[in-house]
Amino acid sequence: MDNESVRGTQAHPRSWSAADCQRPGTARPNGGDLADDGPILGGLDEQRSFGARATPISLGRVVLSQTEGPHEVWAHTAGRDLAITQLTPEPCRGHLLRAGLGDMGFDAGAFDGDLRVRGIMSRKAFSLVSVMEQEGVLNQWGHRIEEGDLIAIPPGGELDGRFQGHVAYAVVTAPWGLVMQRAEAFEWLADPCFWTEPAVYSPPPEARAACKRVLQGCASLLRAMGAGIPSSAVAFLRNELLDGLLTALAEVKVEGARRQGALNAARIVRGAEDFLESGGARQAVQIEDICEALNISRRTLYRAFHDLLDVSPKAYLRLKNMSAARARLLDAGNRPTTVTQVALDQGFWELGRFSGAYRAMFGESPSETLRRAQGAVQGGARRQP
């Protein structure tokens, strides 16, 4: 099967600690949602047409939030629709600093674990993802990702990959018009065709280092100034973040530094996931059903899953359902449910075994997750005036 191999990378010293992703203060329940704060993200609803210009909005407010856990960090964010599947049975820890800068968004996060992440980053904004630190296997659409690589995802585009080990990252989201406006200063980046497809870019070492300094500096400024940051500083941060990323992208000129399209193993795994989603949480699904739907052999299916995720298709189905159960329990504060209902919905008929497997995977029982989610929302309601 034609597939680029996924191999581990040499571990690097961590120069960006978990504290870099946090600031002192009160955390939002479940990571919060910037959209709850009114019009601050209204610019993300801008039309996607080529050449559109960003709608002027107030830059006078910054919203910071912090949270823990990869499910919370990745999925509980405005405009994102991400499915998280934890691949190894141990608690994953994560931290997030999040800021809304007018019609731009900025995330600086870190986590340790082994996750399959797939879904839409933003339906109406452009997303630029920087891999700040990496220890382990990272891939997007089957392409190997190295520390310092940039992932460009147009509005409605999917993040689709595996994140293993320690990962520190930054994400900048901006309206299409604003990206195109700033890109005009970078020659070939001004071509709208450059931005129409998701891609991975590998800038030269000097550009990687410069981009990382910009992102770390902006995160440090936000932590130091907090929600009291003046509008002049917000304007500086907007320009600094976007120009820092675009400057690094503009240095990607060598052949092979841009990687697009899903490789064969990634396409097969995506197809299997889509087939499983079309049938809901079907624990009784047979491998032969997937092979027939994708018109591939059993051997090809197994090889694709092992190449991309290091698990068998059957094991992945169980892991996917378990992670879906966790995501549903974490959302119980917004959509009330019970542990029994969640287990049955995901195809786990023996509740005792489900609870034991859940604790082994996530480090807490399903009922503990449920109580924490419900308590976070109730605590937020009590703080309302």
Ranges of each domain in the chain? 18-260, 263-310, 315-385
Burial letters 51-64, b for 16+ CB under 10 A, else e? ebebeeeebebbbb
Q: What does the radius of gyration of the chain's CA atoms come to, in whole angstroms?
A: 21
The pLDDT of residue 62 is 56
Query: How far apart, in whole angstroms, are the C-alpha atoms of residue 25 and residue 13?
Result: 28
Q: 144-194, pLDDT tens digit by residue?
A: 999 999 999 999 999 999 999 999 999 999 998 999 999 999 888 888 888
Three-state SS for 203? coil
Query: How far apart, in whole angstroms, are the C-alpha atoms of residue 73 and residue 111?
Result: 9
Q: Positive or negative, the Cα torsion across 341, 347, 349, 355? A: negative
CA dihedral 222, 225, 229, 230 (to 10 degrees): -120
Strand runs (DSSP E) across 136-178, as ranges?
Answer: 138-140, 143-144, 150-153, 158-175
Long-range interactions of 239-243: CB distance < 8 A, separation 24+: 239/182, 240/214, 241/101, 241/104, 241/106, 241/172, 241/214, 241/215, 242/104, 242/172, 242/174, 242/178, 242/179, 242/182, 243/182, 243/185
Is residue 262 within 8 Å of residue 141, measured between CB atoms? yes
Is residue 265 within 8 Å of residue 307, measured between CB atoms? yes
In a 10 Å sphere around its CB, with 0-12 CB exposed, 13-18 middle and 19+ buried, how is residue 337 labelled?
middle
In a 10 Å sphere around its CB, with 0-12 CB exposed, 13-18 middle and 19+ buried, how is residue 202 labelled?
buried
The pLDDT of residue 24 is 31
The pLDDT of residue 195 is 87
Predicted structure pTM score? 0.78
Residues of the chain with pLDDT under 70: 1-79, 254-256, 280-284, 376-385
Burial letters 241-272, b for 16+ CB under 10 A, else e? bbebbbbbbbbbeeeeebbeebbbbbbbbbbb
Q: Positive or negative, the Cα torsion across 351, 324, 356, 303? A: positive
The pLDDT of residue 357 is 96
* 18-260 and 315-385, same CATH topology: no
The architecture (CATH level 2) of 18-260 comes to Sandwich (2.60)
Strand runs (DSSP E) across the chain, as ranges?
Answer: 81-86, 93-101, 104-120, 125-135, 138-140, 143-144, 150-153, 158-175, 199-201, 258-260
- The one-letter amino acid code at 35 reads A
For the beta carbon of residue 79, count every other beta carbon within 10 angstroms.
20
Query: How far apart, in whole angstroms, are the C-alpha atoms of residue 173 and residue 155?
Result: 10
Q: Which of 278, 306, 315, 318 is nearest to 294 (CA)?
A: 278
Q: ∠ CA 36-346-311 to the nearest 5 degrees? A: 100
Query: How far apart, in whole angstroms, are the C-alpha atoms of residue 380 and residue 268?
Result: 43
Superfamily of domain 315-385: Homeodomain-like (1.10.10.60)
